[in-house]
Amino acid sequence: MVVLDKVTKVFPGGVEALKGISLDIKKGDIYGIIGLSGAGKSTLLRCINGLETPTSGRVLVEGREVEALNKKELQELRQSIGMLFQSFNLFEAKKVFDNVAYPLKLKKVSKELQEKEVMKMLRLVGLDDKAQAYPNQLSGGQKQRVALARALISGPKILLLDEATSALDSATGQAVLELIEKIKEELDLTVILITHDLEVVRSICNQVAILEGGQLLGAGPIGEMFRGSHIRKIRQDLVIPPGVIKGRGLLLTFSGESAKEPIISNLIKEMGLDVNILLGKIEYVDHEPLGNLLVEIDSTQEDQVVSYLESKGVQVEVYYENN
């Protein structure tokens, strides 16, 4: 559906926002692009919808090279891509109905058809009772659902989300994501979602690409990427305050069978070894448990503990080093 082939973007002034990014986004994917602020995510998205031209490399949408499109084709491309932003970008002076109808009005669609299509879309996002309300009478989550209805009204095949849930509290954001997941099936969409929030990716994406400083650290199915080490560079949930660890902090990753066994309690019982757990988390990625424990181990026992854990299929890596 969308292919990026060695895309680079250098802005005037020399900022290299993208450094040779290649991605293959398939029809029906909910593809997450995650990275910290300044990683190049928005620039990447703007290369996909033709708002930005790559300095080198190619972007293909449904097999057609974006840069080669003429003005009219580029306009058609933009119409086949729905966009959703962090700031909902609604027309405050227009009613919900007119906000959603706006793209149809521009295309000179008849009043009758507008009425039918808009109400159908508002029902889909669960806001048909708000058609006559103004945006300032709505909650943040409702505003984003109006923006979603407007983004989808022209029947796009691709939906691009740029931090679309970042301004919402987590429960509201989650509800919007679930709605998108449901609508995606009904409308046969491919969704590309950029975010700095791991939780967003974990909850709805099937694929994820990790960006750092304009570089692609890795891309693939989320289960694989969450178990790998690249994701750690952008994790903000596995962090402890400085000074807590006196020696080395080891990060243990449990996945597959090792996530289901009481390995730590066996380690303590069978081997008589001590483990000081500093932070722990089990999350479900793609319906499979994935555990992370940050531990400190007496340095005289470290080799024994590490070899025991590794023999049980636990990944062990040095996460903090305090000297």
Ligand X SMILES: Nc1ncnc2c1ncn2[C@@H]1O[C@H](COP(=O)(O)OP(=O)(O)O)[C@@H](O)[C@H]1O
Q: How far is the CB of 212 from ligand X (least distance, A)?
A: 10
| Integer Rg of the chain from CA | 23
Q: Say whether residue 43 binds Mg ion (CB under 5 A).
A: no
Candidate ranges 41-49, 92-100, 104-112, 298-306; the one touching ligand X (CB under 6 A):
41-49
With respect to ligand X, which residue has the nearer C-beta, 19 or 95? Answer: 19
With respect to ligand X, which residue has the nearer C-beta, 96 or 216? Answer: 216
Which residue, among 62, 4, 66, has the nearest Cα to 216 in the 3D structure?
4
With respect to ligand X, which residue has the nearer C-beta, 45 or 118? Answer: 45
Q: Say whether residue 292 binds Mg ion (CB under 5 A).
A: no
Candidate ranges 10-18, 41-49, 141-149, 214-222; the one touching Mg ion (CB under 5 A):
41-49
With respect to Mg ion, which residue has the nearer C-beta, 41 or 130? Answer: 41
Q: Taking CB within 5 to 8 Å according to partner kind, which of Mg ion, ligand X, none is near residue 43?
A: ligand X
Candidate ranges 7-15, 93-101, 132-140, 285-293; the one touching ligand X (CB under 6 A):
7-15
Candidate ranges 16-24, 35-43, 144-152, 206-214; the one touching Mg ion (CB under 5 A):
35-43
Residue with tokens 């560079």: 233
Q: How far is the CB of 310 from ligand X (least distance, A)?
A: 36
Instruction: Give φ, ψ of 265 to 5 degrees.
Output: -70, -35
Alpha carbon distance 217, 198 (integer Å) = 15
Q: Say whether residue 42 binds Mg ion (CB under 5 A).
A: yes
With respect to ligand X, which residue has the nearer C-beta, 11 or 91? Answer: 11
Q: How would DSSP label each residue in 125-166?
A: TT-GGGTTS-GGGS-HHHHHHHHHHHHHTT--SEEEEESTTT
Both tokens of 220, joined, read: 């693939």
Q: Say whether residue 54 binds ligand X (CB under 6 A).
A: no
Candidate ranges 34-42, 116-124, 208-216, 273-281; the one touching Mg ion (CB under 5 A):
34-42
The SS3 assignment for 32 reads: strand
C-beta nearest to Mg ion: residue: 42
Q: Say whether residue 165 binds ligand X (CB under 6 A).
A: no
Which residue, among 27, 25, 31, 19, has the nearest Cα to 57 in the 3D structure?
19
Q: Taking CB within 5 to 8 Å according to partner kind, which of Mg ion, ligand X, none is near residue 148?
A: none
Q: Say whether residue 70 binds ligand X (CB under 6 A).
A: no
Alpha carbon distance 260, 257 (integer Å) = 5
What number of H helices and E strands is found in the chain?
10, 14
Pinpoint the alpha helices (H) of the chain. 41-48, 71-79, 96-106, 111-124, 140-152, 170-187, 198-204, 222-227, 263-271, 302-311
Which strands sit side by side in the sheet containing 288-296, from one edge to the other?
A: 276-285, 288-296, 248-255, 315-321
Exactly one of 2, 31, 40, 267 binds ligand X (CB under 6 A); which one? Answer: 40
Q: Taking CB within 5 to 8 Å according to partner kind, which of Mg ion, ligand X, none is near residue 242?
A: none
Q: How far is the CB of 35 from ligand X (least distance, A)?
A: 5
Instruction: Give φ, ψ of 208 to 5 degrees.
Output: -145, 140
Q: Say whether residue 292 binds ligand X (CB under 6 A).
A: no
Q: Say whether residue 253 binds Mg ion (CB under 5 A).
A: no
**Contact footprint for ligand X (CB under 6 A):** 11, 13, 15, 17, 35, 37-43
